[in-house]
Structure 1
Amino acid sequence: MQYSQEMTSLILEVCASLIGWIAVYTMLCYLNGHRGYEWNCRLVTLFHGILVVCVTAYIGYVDGPWPFTHPGTENTPLQITVLILSLGYFIFDMGWCVYFGTEGAVMLAHHTLSMLGMVLVLWLGESGIEGCAVLFGSEITNPLLQVRWFLRQLGRYEGLLGDAVDMLFVTLFLAMRILLGGYMLYCELISPRPIPVVKAGGVAMYILSWVFMADIARFAYRKASTRYRCWLERHKLVNGHDRKAD
């Protein structure tokens, strides 16, 4: 009976979180309607990313426990709160992406796995620290993605600022999602506490990170090649002017 009441309470809290995110988006569309639906949705995404990164950083570094040494431990009230908050957001964003058809299969798979992982952790009542660690690692690069999109919309992406955002994004993704994420998965797999389905979810999320990493590596290579060709052309042009001047 008590377990049923706890589940009902969690479902109601997730619904409240979803309604809250919808309300924020609706308010932005009302106040900032001239910018369009995607602009305002990305503002919600930016706000969620910054908020979740700050809270999960506090959980990992201050509130505890340390995710690398204590996976599979019982969820704390703060972990439950941030997972409910993020689950409501992901449901909202998934619905928005499907309705407007803005994302491909890989991103939709990421959203689906994220939601299933949070539901599983909330249902089990354990492994919340790993869930928060995954949220931190995956959302820390998200604000940079949104800034990149806003710069493109404002016509300020081509230049030093856009290059700096891209470089920081690639570096953070590699460090957090691939290197640190790989170590986190290793700690998860060797620990006897997390149940097998949680470990399987961690493997699935890490494989998806590598799929994203492959796309990012191709993007970085194309951009670096383009920048190098532009530099060569400018260099040849300058040398040509110098020879004419001589």
Structure 2
Amino acid sequence: MASHELSTASLLKLCSFAFWGWSYIWVTNAAPKKSPEWHSRMVTLLHGSIATLVGVHQCGITSVDQCRLTMKISYGEYALMLWSWGYFAFDLLWCLVYMSNSLVILAHHLTALIAVNIYLSKAYAGCTFACTLALMEITNPFLQTRWLLRYEGYGQTLIFYLVEIIYFVMFLTIRAFFCTYLVFEMLNSDFLDMDEKIISVSLYIVSLILVYEILSYVTYKYKNKIEEFKGFANEVRVNVAINEIVP
């Protein structure tokens, strides 16, 4: 019986991986003149958007308690795990083939893949997985939209800066502050297993590294813009003062 369940789970994982591989091939054929990274970003945008919506719905953030976190996994939650496992496996393979991502991103994908495997082996971690996935992916659509806007030549437009700022604020707020609180609560809980706590800490450490990289990028990119804004503001104040003195 155990071997049958294992083979069934493996087959479902393979089907999920094949779906994401087919999605990438379909996008590549639909837009052959775009770069491989553009094709991959479109697939990532699809996963991030749907994973966020489904994850938030299954998580039920407003009603999460010990009872829900220890409930038996539902078919929908199990399907979401399999669906995401296939994506993380595909994305990790793509990153290894093209070697276009940093070691931090590779560690993020590998950690996520291991985490899904552990959650799939449990009978009650559906709500925990859905909440974790939603928190991981909720900023992803903004990240991909930001990249696509820049790729298409809109990197200096107002909509680009709005998307970028929304992404930065959401990522830093969720990963640096909210997740810190959640990890603290999970580590002090008496109803979560040790492997679930290890998963949370591992994902949290990777998130902190990403937070540091984003803060470094924001400081580098917007330092000059902040100085320009301060200079403009000072000039406005001087002009206002002169107008008040000189009739």
TM-score (norm 1): 0.88
Structure 1 contact 7–123 (Cα < 8 Å) conserved: no
Matched ranges for 1:82-93 at <5 A:
82-93=80-91
Structure 1 contact 174–213 (Cα < 8 Å) conserved: yes
Counterpart for residue 216 of structure 1: 214
Secondary structure at the counterpart of residue 34 of structure 1:
coil
Partner AA of 2:219 in structure 1: Y
Partner AA of 2:34 in structure 1: R
Q: Deviations over 1:106-126 (max 9, x none)?
A: 000000110000001101233
- Give how far 1:202 is off: 0.7
Counterpart for residue 228 of structure 1: 226
Partner AA of 2:142 in structure 1: L
Counterpart for residue 130 of structure 1: 128
Distance in 1 (CA, whole Å) between partners of 2:65 and 2:97 is 36
Q: CA RMSD, aligned part only? A: 2.6
In structure 2, stretches of 5+ residues that fail to align are 243-247
Counterpart for residue 169 of structure 1: 167
Distance in 1 (CA, whole Å) between partners of 2:230 and 2:168 is 24
Counterpart for residue 30 of structure 2: 31
Matched ranges for 1:1-246 at <5 A:
1=1, 3-61=2-60, 66=64, 70-231=68-229
Question: What percent identity do the matched residue pairs reach?
Answer: 25
In structure 1, stretches of 5+ residues that fail to align are none
Structure 1 contact 67–129 (Cα < 8 Å) conserved: no
- Give how far 1:46 is off: 0.3
- Give how far 1:233 is off: 6.3
Structure 2 contact 55–133 (Cα < 8 Å) conserved: yes
Partner AA of 2:189 in structure 1: S
Q: Deviations over 1:101-146 (max 9, x none)?
A: 1101000000011000000110123322222211101111111111
Aligned residues: 242
Distance in 1 (CA, whole Å) between partners of 2:93 and 2:236 is 52
Partner AA of 2:205 in structure 1: I
Distance in 1 (CA, whole Å) between partners of 2:65 and 2:155 is 37
Counterpart for residue 245 of structure 2: none
Partner AA of 1:61 in structure 2: G
> 225-234 or 39-48, which moves further after superposition?
225-234
